[in-house]
Structure 1
Amino acid sequence: MIKHFLLSLAAVGGLAQAAPSLQQFFEPAHFKDAAISPSGRYVALRVGDNALRDGMVVIDSETQAVVGGTRLAGYDIGAIRWVNDNRLVYNVDDSKLTAGETEFAPGLWAINRDGTDKRQLAEHRIAYVIGSLITRHVEPWNTFLMNERGAQDSEFIYARRPEWKEGSHVVERIDLIKLNTSTGISTTVNRPTAAQGWMLDHRGEPSIMVSLKDGKQTIHYRAPASREWRALSTFTAYGKDDGIEPVGFINDQQMLVKARLKGDKAALHTLDLVSGKVDPEPLVSLSDYDFTGSMVYSDKRLLGIHYLGEARSSIWFDAGMKAAQAEVDKKLPGLVNIITPPAVPEVPWLLVNSYSDRQPHTYLLFNSKTGQLKVVGASHPDINPAEMGNQEMVKVKARDGMQIPVWLTVPAKGGKKLPMVVMVHGGPYVRGTEWGWDSDGQFLASRGYAVLEPEYRGSTGYGLNLFAAGFKQWGLKMQDDIADSVKWAVEKGIADPDRICIMGGSYGGYATLMGLVNDPGLYRCGISYLAVTDIPLLYDGSMSLLSDLPEDYKNYGVPVLVGDLENDAAQLVATSPLKQAARIKRPLLMAHGSEDRRVPFVHFKKMRNALEDAKADAEFVEYVGEQHGWYTLQTRLDFWGRVEKFLDKHIGAGAKAK
């Protein structure tokens, strides 16, 4: 188990002594992100507060003096990337509007680090733009930054351009463009077929393209010498995982792929780009987790790998980076310390992102020559780690013997027979959480609740057996895993059996409703938001749960993972909260966004009508303009304020005896 140590007050500076308020948990982070320049000489920070729009500040790594940046009137700076040591690109956002009110695309802008030569690179969805650069050539609004850093050694970047199927939210293909950030001139990268994904190699050049057709996924590779695309591998896209997933490159002859060749867990393997064969011996494998990670490059060579196990960590092949990690971990014990080196280093400064289950993210700079470590900024400086709960991973045996990973967070003061909130993650075919500070769970812990987060069957990241066991198990064994986790917490004396509430969003909202249907004696109340309320509604003309994902997924993935309308009709009725609404007898809080595309508002509307007809003890909240999540601070504060009062009334200090 990871031991808990706290950064010294001198390290993080000015920590609050009082328990954080609702707003301190859910307000935007003060420091949202940090990016080190290619040389390491500068760091770009995305900063904000409740009064000002999010801006970008560029500081000198050595002196921490501000040397540039920008802030826009009426808009927030979004994601930031370095193009080269003098130039950056960023998109914009508007945190004051709900997602449904946002009538513009993020757009794309470039600027020199000193704030000069600002250029609009991509237009917004609607006619107006920021500033007067509309007369210059700009790319279409559907031009987005890639997640990868790129080469950072020229004026060019690569950007994604999704193209939607006419009249729908379905992405038909994703083109890749090469864009000059100084002139605005672009070219489209050639492709052999419609693409659904792209990956850059160790030089920052596009070398992998992923296509999807008729339930089959194909990995295409473009060799740097020939510049011609060829298919590396084709496999079934949905169901049991028998394919490969590109992760990164070692050099022009070897690529790194995620594959499940031996046993239950996916590992990192080397693929020979000439023969197309995968080395059966893994380069990196984890005993309890599927490999998930990313490559760390500097000077266009592979230095190491960032990966996710119980927590995030790093493997370094480079001796210098290995030594730097050891020194940083010594100075900041008990914390996750993720180090990012510059792409083309000229100075010894490295960027460090440090956090724990109790401490929010803190950004620091580390000098690998002198050992100096200095704080750049903290995401939530008013959060006192000493007042946060302790999070740990436990294993719970389900009723059929399957081992279920479960995250448990208990209040800082600990205790036995605590009131408990069971938080069910969405997806459902994703990993729910990881070790680290989380505003939702820590807010509940700060109010005295134990928090239980089961990684029920169907969850990814814990091996094929757990994932595949969730096929067509909505409301059935997936639901049993959640209930068995709760019973474990009661048996261990952690939870008071009379004070347990279940809550979740999206699939978690569905599981909350089905929890009240299947196990009314287990839960005192439920909080369901953005919830799927009827599986057949995923298929009908009101759009679908997967409406903003490829049509191919709806046709080939949903029948395998969730259920087939004809063959599984009886099961879908039995596991429909809408059809079983009259069985919900416990107090319920339901919330939904009026513009939700992933789970359309009709799910909420029909469920509300059914519960009102059944005279259920339910409270309903509609957030006008919100989509699949709470976008504005106003909505977050309202929702979590309602949650706090609802929990206090039913399982907290204000609860009446059962």
Structure 2
Amino acid sequence: MRVLPVALTLAGSVLASSGARAFDAAAAFGARPSAVDVSLSPDGNSIAFVAPTQGMGSVLYTVHVDPGAKPKAALTASGKPERLGGCDWVSNDRLVCRVYGILKDPSLSLLPVNRLLAVNADGSDHQLLSTASNFYTRGFALGGGNVIDWMAERDGAVLMSRHYLPDEHIGSRLGSSEEGLGVDLLDTRTLQKQTIERPLSDAVCYISDGHGTVRIMGVRGARKGGGQDTGIVHFLYRRPNSREWQGLSDYNEVDYTGFLPYAVDRERNVAYGTKKIDGRLAIVALALDGSSREELVYSSPQVDVDDLIRIGRRHRVVGVSFVTDIRTAFFFDADTKKIVDSLGRALPQHPAVRIVDASVDESKLLVFASRDNDPGSYYLFDQGAHQLHPLLAKRQELDGVTLATVKPVSYPAKDGVAVPAYLTWPPGKEGAKGLPAIVMPHGGPGARDEWGFDWLAQFFAASGYVVLQPNYRGSGGYGDDWYQRNGFRSWPTAIGDVLDAGRWLVAQGIAPADKLGIVGWSYGGYAALQAAVTDSSVFKAVVAIAPVTDLEEAKQEWRNWSNYRLESEFIGEGPQVRAGSPARNADKIKAPVLLFHGALDRNVSISESRHMAKSLESAGVRHELVTWDDLDHELDDSNARAEMLRKSEAFLRAAFGE
């Protein structure tokens, strides 16, 4: 295989080099990725990608893959409030994009809204694909539906789930009583539709076979008093050439039990999905022929097997992936395995190689390759010519910057349990002792950190800090025993593991006790604050980004929503709720605290940080709260992130007496 040094010439300032200016680490690491949501046209001759503009704004570019081709702007979103999500090709000259944003509502505060629209590659002929509302529409749909089949055989058409609301246009043919989620075959140019599945009020999702036939439907379980969700989804399926629904599985969204279907293989007539085996997620295949036959596709004795590998316009399933120390792929499709192995040999410095898109005939593949000290680049692999063409760097602002390597490690918790973690030293100082250090617990809490590039950890490493990212008990990915009752209900164990991460850094001589801080985002911010409450002697500075600070308040944020009961049960009741709320125990914190939060944060309300700041003020604890009126949970603004990094680094230096 030949790797050809033929990268695209990228026009304009969006992806232009920063020139010879002095390196600004906060600006470079805080910058939003220069190319995301990259996709390949059906003929394999063009790509589309989303690039950042000012604030949370973004622009969709399309460009031919020929050397020297100039990107064309096809769609722009200001970020106030509309933002661009992923865009995918529905034909060689047309794309479907998700537009989303946060709307302010006087009674419900913040509403997350998204819609799908179609646009030509040259920016012309915008069409709204989600159902439109009017003066007579009863209610408001937050979601705009999903493309469930890209209809490789029909140019410009998609099979799409769409939300319908009653239209009280009484006495008019325009009126309709239909309500719920249905499926339409939709021409993205003319908007002509064919109803495939009539809307059902309790339907939550549909899965096609990749060839235009709906085979699986998910239906929300009967709601309890007050319209509260139960967390149960009933999945139904159809046999080939049948319109009769039959029971497939009941899935519990709370404890992740039951079979959760992800995809249908038409040739094998099976549904692929996850199911717990011995307390860990495994990939299984259930027959869709009425036999209820179950086949174990892949399981791991150490971790959850949590992802399907799918390629092509029909998203066919070719393998699975999971994370031990490093994400690993298992391919049961021999041809795909051969291709990926070949790509790995062509890109030996990039162990994380994956196929992200393909032409209709799969002769051309869009490939992404990255590693811990490389944010990654996109390539076009032409199978017929056996050539690999570089296309785009994901983070052009970091081109040429020496980045840190990440090492999987483990450390002992107080009870002797080995806690997995990732350790990052400053570049060129691997193995050094006596450096300032940061413990960085991940968010979630039911998530986990993985080996790979992390812009936040890399910034602090570039600034001279050792960074330790623990997958504390309560993290996802390791099965039920590790997850326990989740990081809120089991906070004493989770926070104990986070504190032990700091103690281990000191015991190993990696960091002096007076130069140890903690930085966390979301649940990670909660863990940073609660660790300072639980043992004020370990960390000398606390940085909490969009943190939960009061567990009872966190439950009440969902009071007007149908998931309120589930959120309340997730957090729990009793004395542990108060004891586990940093804002109610601020007098126990001795280290200075720096808080960041966006006012449009719907994941964790900004009121949590404001409550924390008031409690710290009352307790006489040195602190600062930095807020942004127009940003959400992700603070997805390059300038805001750069400001956050600068302030955090200066705050840590001051707290460490440097």
Q: TM-score, normalised by structure 1?
A: 0.83
> Which of 46, 55, 64 does residue 50 from structure 2 map onto?
46
The equivalences for 1:453-468 within 5 A come to 453-468=469-484
Partner of 1:350: 365
Q: How many corresponding residue pairs?
A: 613
SS at match of 2:458: helix
Query: Is it true that 1:380 corresponds to 2:380 in the alignment?
Result: no
> Which of 372, 381, 389 does residue 366 from structure 1 map onto?
381
Partner of 1:130: none
Partner of 1:201: 209
Query: Is it true that 1:530 corresponds to 2:546 in the alignment?
Result: yes
Structural RMSD (CA): 3.8
> Which of 640, 646, 651 does residue 645 from structure 2 map onto?
640
Partner of 1:555: 565
Contact 1:210 1:218 in 2 (8 A): yes
Aligned-residue sequence identity (percent) comes to 26
Contact 1:358 1:437 in 2 (8 A): yes
> Which of 597, 601, 621 does residue 596 from structure 1 map onto?
601
CA distance in 1, matches of 2:613, 2:313: 58
Query: Is it true that 1:429 corresponds to 2:446 in the alignment?
Result: yes
Partner of 1:180: 187
Amino acid of the structure 2 residue aligned with 1:211: V
Partner of 1:157: 158
Contact 1:19 1:384 in 2 (8 A): no
The equivalences for 1:545-624 within 5 A come to 551-552=562-563, 554-556=564-566, 558-559=568-569, 561-564=570-573, 568=574, 570-624=575-629
CA distance in 2, matches of 1:610, 1:636: 26
Partner of 2:300: 286
Shift of 1:376: 0.9
CA distance in 2, matches of 1:146, 1:107: 9
Distance 1:21 1:93, change over 3 A: farther
Q: Deviations over 1:575-604 (max 9, x none)?
A: 221221111111111222233333223322
Contact 1:357 1:436 in 2 (8 A): yes
Shift of 1:71: 4.2
SS at match of 1:437: coil
Distance 1:11 1:42, change over 3 A: closer
SS at match of 2:482: helix
CA distance in 1, matches of 2:312, 2:111: 39
> Which of 111, 122, 127 does residue 119 from structure 2 map onto?
111
Contact 2:555 2:571 in 1 (8 A): no
Shift of 1:420: 1.1
CA distance in 1, matches of 2:85, 2:536: 44
CA distance in 2, matches of 1:316, 1:589: 46
CA distance in 1, matches of 2:70, 2:86: 19
Amino acid of the structure 1 residue aligned with 2:92: D
Q: Deviations over 1:264-303 (max 9, x none)?
A: 43211121122463536x3222343211212424475846
Amino acid of the structure 2 residue aligned with 1:47: A
Amino acid of the structure 2 residue aligned with 1:294: L
CA distance in 2, matches of 1:287, 1:8: 41
SS at match of 2:512: strand
Amino acid of the structure 1 residue aligned with 2:146: M
Partner of 1:330: 345
Shift of 1:485: 2.0
Distance 1:377 1:511, change over 3 A: same
SS at match of 1:515: helix
> Which of 191, 201, 218 does residue 210 from structure 1 map onto?
218
Distance 1:392 1:594, change over 3 A: same
Amino acid of the structure 2 residue aligned with 1:418: L
SS at match of 1:198: strand
The answer to which of 293-302 and 435-444 deviates more is: 293-302
Amino acid of the structure 2 residue aligned with 1:551: S
Amino acid of the structure 2 residue aligned with 1:237: E
Partner of 1:80: 87
Distance 1:173 1:517, change over 3 A: farther
Q: Deviations over 1:3-28 (max 9, x none)?
A: xxxx9999899899975521111222
The answer to which of 628-637 and 141-150 deviates more is: 141-150
Query: Is it true that 1:296 corresponds to 2:310 in the alignment?
Result: yes
Gaps of 5+ in 2: 10-16, 167-178, 222-229
CA distance in 2, matches of 1:279, 1:51: 49
Shift of 1:88: 1.4
CA distance in 1, matches of 2:425, 2:5: 23
Shift of 1:633: 2.8
Distance 1:452 1:164, change over 3 A: farther
Q: TM-score, normalised by structure 2?
A: 0.83
Contact 2:475 2:483 in 1 (8 A): yes
SS at match of 1:238: coil
CA distance in 2, matches of 1:399, 1:531: 25
Shift of 1:440: 0.8
CA distance in 2, matches of 1:36, 1:507: 36
> Which of 20, 28, 32 does residue 32 from structure 2 map onto?
28
> Which of 631, 640, 644 does residue 636 from structure 2 map onto?
631
Gaps of 5+ in 1: 1-6, 128-139, 166-171
Query: Is it true that 1:245 corresponds to 2:260 in the alignment?
Result: yes
Contact 2:320 2:329 in 1 (8 A): yes
Partner of 1:4: none
The answer to which of 350-359 and 631-640 deviates more is: 631-640
Q: Deviations over 1:222-247 (max 9, x none)?
A: 344113332211254323x4311213
> Which of 438, 450, 453 does residue 454 from structure 2 map onto?
438
> Which of 457, 464, 470 does residue 448 from structure 1 map onto?
464
SS at match of 2:153: coil
Amino acid of the structure 2 residue aligned with 1:465: D
SS at match of 1:619: strand
Contact 1:211 1:218 in 2 (8 A): yes
Shift of 1:201: 2.8
